[in-house]
Structure 1
Amino acid sequence: MYENINGKIVVITGASSGLGEATARRLAQLGARPVVGARRIDRLLALAKEIGLPEAAALQTDVSRREDVQRLVDQAMKLYGRVDVILNNAGLMPQSPLERCKVEDWERMIDVNIKGVLYGIAAVLPHMKAQKSGHIINVSSVAGHKVRQAGAVYAATKTAVRVISEGLRQEVKPYNIRTTIISPGATATELPDSITEPDIAENVRKIFEIAVPASTFADMVVFAMSQPDEVDVNEILFRPTRQEF
């Protein structure tokens, strides 16, 4: 089942914790070679050492800065000469009602959740086109399918990821590039910690009491990657069994 993973060069953003960290661990176990980026370089370096990556495969990366994302992909090319997969995973969720006008939070979500994905696509696409192969995996959310109170802007950013990914899917067919959108429900990560409004954070943490582990997301990545090259898994939406929305 895992023949299509062994030896793959996989760039992962937001890899210092949560979904990105769990995926880096899982893929390394299966013989892939992750190149990981996140803002917390100390945690990245510790992860790299633990899962047997060279120190050079961990780069401090703020996905809201295009040059950071480009440098991460350039490092993968320098180390291995190719990029087979990118997991555009970094994200923020500072939810709040629109009437509170948390404009700075809105801007942060747009910069990370939308622009960060676009920067990742822009960084890898020339290499994947030249290779005539590749796999771009973008992380949306259940919120990209369903809007809830206090979550309008976050849902908008995650809907944008789905729209961008579908447009990308249609454009890259001539280059044999696969595209996957993964939309998690409540998954145990630090995402609720990015909520700046105490009352909203409390409500979200109650919802996340039923969260599935981050390794669940990693299994979805493995499933999408491990398909034969002629099979393109375009979208995965999953939730805890007990999640109602």
Structure 2
Amino acid sequence: MSSTPPSRPVVVITGASSGIGAALATRLAHTHHLVLVARRAEALRALAGQLGSPDIVTMAADVTVRSEVEDVVETTLSRFSRLDIWVNNVGRGITRAPSQLTDADIDDMMQVNVKSALYGMQAVLPHFRLVGRGHVINVSSMLGRVPMATFRSAYSASKHFLNALTANMRAEVQETHPDIQFSLVSPGVVRTEFGRNALHGGPDSHTLPNSQSAEEVAEVIAQVIADRRADVYTRSGMAEMAVGYLRELGRDP
């Protein structure tokens, strides 16, 4: 282990080989030391080469496997002697109506969208407690607030689960360590390969209305790293939409 930790913060980004993860890596490359994690080793190496920093660490890992997430923490601390920010960005969609969901569908959504984030939070927490400070950012979804797309039913449910889990983790940890933050970032439709890669196929996210670029979402995440807000939407009007949805549910029939 290096005897002198680097002066720049160290951030781990999961799902970093494309989409929001790659855009965030590009946004932070000149201000943070990066540990880029994904299953596709060649794509990670290509991204690191494009960014051109000698201090970028790439790790091919499956973050739905707890032991591989723990290896990321150990490798990061061995390389940099510090770990400041952990971004849980891995996620997968699904295209299936709720009446048609199978056990396998639910298991897949929970493993990818919830357990991967839980493993990250639990793996990094001992180090954050040791140093008294740290920041986890969980990338959620507007569908985790307003389940307005029935064909994404199990995905929406998994993001609702992630939101509650994040809030409860924050409340537990901050009872004793108030400088450890757990933030949620909720995008809407983002122009990535999310739609094409959804379980059972689905519409291309690039073709859907009211979409954002991955770079726009990355900019919001970078702002959250700076200001450590707990719960953030990536577009104006989204918070009001969520509040309106809850109000509508509470109205008398």
TM-score class normalised by the smaller sequence: 0.7 to 0.9
Given that residues 45 and 55 in structure 1 are in contact (C-alpha distance below 8 angstroms), is that contact kept between their aligned partners in structure 2?
A: no
Given that residues 139 and 161 in structure 1 are in contact (C-alpha distance below 8 angstroms), is that contact kept between their aligned partners in structure 2?
A: no
Q: Does 1:191 align with 2:194?
A: yes
**Structure 1 vs Structure 2: percent identity of aligned residues?**
31
Q: CA deviation at 1:108?
A: 1.6
Q: Does 1:17 align with 2:18?
A: yes
| Matching residue of 2:4 | none
Task: Indicate the SS of the match to 1:192.
Answer: coil
| Matching residue of 2:212 | 212
Q: CA deviation at 1:240?
A: 7.8
Task: Indicate the SS of the match to 1:236.
Answer: strand
Alignment of 1:59-78 (within 5 A): 59-78=59-78
| Matching residue of 1:3 | none
Q: Write the distance in 1 (CA, Å) between the matches of 2:36 and 2:115.
A: 18
| Matching residue of 1:158 | 159
CA deviations 1:168-191 (Å, max 9, x no partner) are: 111222321112100000111111
Q: CA deviation at 1:101?
A: 3.1
Q: CA deviation at 1:224?
A: 1.1
Q: Write the distance in 2 (CA, Å) between the matches of 1:139 and 1:202.
A: 21
Q: CA deviation at 1:102?
A: 4.2
Alignment of 1:215-234 (within 5 A): 215-227=215-227, 232-234=228-230
Shifted more, 143-152 versus 84-93: the winner is: 143-152
Q: CA RMSD in A?
A: 2.2
Which of 161, 178, 182 is the equivalent residue of 2:181?
178
Q: Write the distance in 1 (CA, Å) between the matches of 2:186 and 2:232.
A: 6
Task: Indicate the SS of the match to 2:195.
Answer: helix
Alignment of 1:125-144 (within 5 A): 125-144=125-144
CA deviations 1:181-233 (Å, max 9, x no partner) are: 000001111111222435xx1386642x4421101111111111112xxxx40
Unaligned runs of 5+ in 1: 1-5
TM-score (norm 2): 0.84
Are residues 122 and 53 of structure 1, via their aligned partners in 2, closer, same or farther at CA, if it must alter by over 3 Å?
farther
Shifted more, 161-170 versus 44-53: the winner is: 44-53
Task: Indicate the SS of the match to 1:185.
Answer: coil
CA deviations 1:31-56 (Å, max 9, x no partner) are: 20110100111000111122134487
Q: Write the distance in 1 (CA, Å) between the matches of 2:70 and 2:56.
A: 15
Task: Indicate the SS of the match to 2:46.
Answer: helix
Runs of 4 or more above 6 Å deviation: none
Unaligned runs of 5+ in 2: 1-6, 243-253
Q: CA deviation at 1:25?
A: 0.8
Q: Write the distance in 2 (CA, Å) between the matches of 1:56 and 1:66.
A: 23
Q: Does 1:104 align with 2:100?
A: no
TM-score (norm 1): 0.87
Q: Write the distance in 2 (CA, Å) between the matches of 1:7 and 1:204.
A: 35
The structure that has the greater radius of gyration is: 2
CA deviations 1:116-149 (Å, max 9, x no partner) are: 0000001100000001011010011001001121
Q: Write the distance in 2 (CA, Å) between the matches of 1:42 and 1:241.
A: 38
